Chain A
Amino acid sequence: AQSVSQHNHHVILSEAASLELGCNYSYGGTVNLFWYVQYPGQHLQLLLKYFSGDPLVKGIKGFEAEFIKSKFSFNLRKPSVQWSDTAEYFCAVNAGGFNKFYFGSGTKLNVKP
């Protein structure tokens, strides 16, 4: 069975700090990769996605993620966080083009103003 690991469960940063959230997955074949964000009191929203091509993908609100196939990783980054980035972030994997998505355990980001 596939698994998705997010190693940072809770991250606290000050505004303007840089962010990197780790995501690793276990699947040897072709994968589609996603980051979702859940702002307080809101539903899950797609932040960015990787299907193929350039391994560095850019999403909404200044977020980007890099797919490193050799490391089975898809880390999320943002150069300078804002208070409004306070949310929970979930990494997800869709493997082999099948319709199942596997989610990591989530990382709660708290940005202090």
Chain B
Amino acid sequence: SAVISQKPSRDICQRGTSLTIQCQVDSQVTMMFWYRQQPGQSLTLIATANQGSEATYESGFVIDKFPISRPNLTFSTLTVSNMSPEDSSIYLCSVASGLAGFYEQYFGPGTRLTVT
């Protein structure tokens, strides 16, 4: 298993500003993911961030709004840019580990973002 930490754990931000969320893993992993979990809803995958390549975004999410960095095998950041109240959500970092075809996914504690 992997132990994942995220910073900040929560924040309240004003409309139009940006917030960068950090994700730190206690071991080297190739695959990292960023999810959004809106109140009362399931997890929505924002993007896959593999080290050494550009992040791959899911439909409905774009790099200008959610730029991602993955400088090494234990760290990633997600920036929520030009925020609006609709961006209020919990943002989750996760990693996949295991042998190819037998991946397990582990999650960080999440960052609770409120945009006013």
Indicate whether A and B interact: yes
Nearest B residue to A36, CB-CB: B107
Residue of B nearest to A4 (CB): B42
Q: Which B residues are in CB contact (< 8 Å) with A35? A: none
A84 to chain B, nearest CB (A): 20
Instruction: Assess whether B42 is in contact with A105, with CB atoms less than 8 Å apart.
Output: yes
Among B31, B41, B105, chain A packs the most CB atoms within 10 A around the CB of B105
Given known pairs A44-B92, A97-B100, A99-B31, the reply for A90 and B106 (CB within 8 Å) is no
B100 touches A44 (CB 8 A): no
Q: Is the CB of A32 within 8 A of B110?
A: no
CA distance A101 to B96 in the complex (A): 9
Judge whether B102 and A92 touch: CB under 8 Å: no
By a beta-carbon cutoff of 8 Å, the part of chain A in contact with chain B is 32, 34, 36, 42-46, 49, 51, 90, 92, 94, 97, 99-101, 103-106
Interface presence of B67 (CB below 8 A): no
When distances are taken between beta carbons in the complex, the residues of chain A under 8 Å from B102 are 32, 51, 97
Find out whether the CB atom of B48 lies under 8 angstroms from the CB atom of A99: yes
Chain B residues lying within 8 Å of A97, measured Cβ to Cβ, are 100-103
Chain A: which residue is nearest B109 at the CB level? A43
Selected contact of A99 from candidates B43, B103, B108, B109, CB within 8 Å: B103
The answer to whether B42 and A32 touch across the interface, beta carbons within 8 angstroms, is no
* Separation of A106 and B33 alpha carbons in the complex (Å): 19
Chain B hits for A94, CB < 8 A? 103, 105
Question: CB-CB < 8 A to A51: which residues of B?
Answer: 102
A44 to B102, CA, bound (A): 19
Interface string of B27-68 (1 = CB under 8 A from A): 000010100000001110100100000000000000000000
Taking CB atoms, residues of chain A closer than 8 Å to B33 are: 101
Contact partner of A43 (CB less than 8 A), chosen from B31, B104, B105, B110, is: B110
Contacts of B103 in A (CB 8 A): 32, 94, 97, 99, 101
| 26 A-B residue pairings within 8 Å (CB atoms) | A32-B102, A32-B103, A36-B107, A43-B92, A43-B107, A43-B109, A43-B110, A46-B104, A49-B104, A90-B42, A90-B43, A94-B103, A97-B100, A97-B101, A99-B31, A99-B48, A99-B96, A99-B103, A100-B48, A101-B45, A101-B96, A101-B103, A103-B42, A103-B43, A106-B41, A106-B42
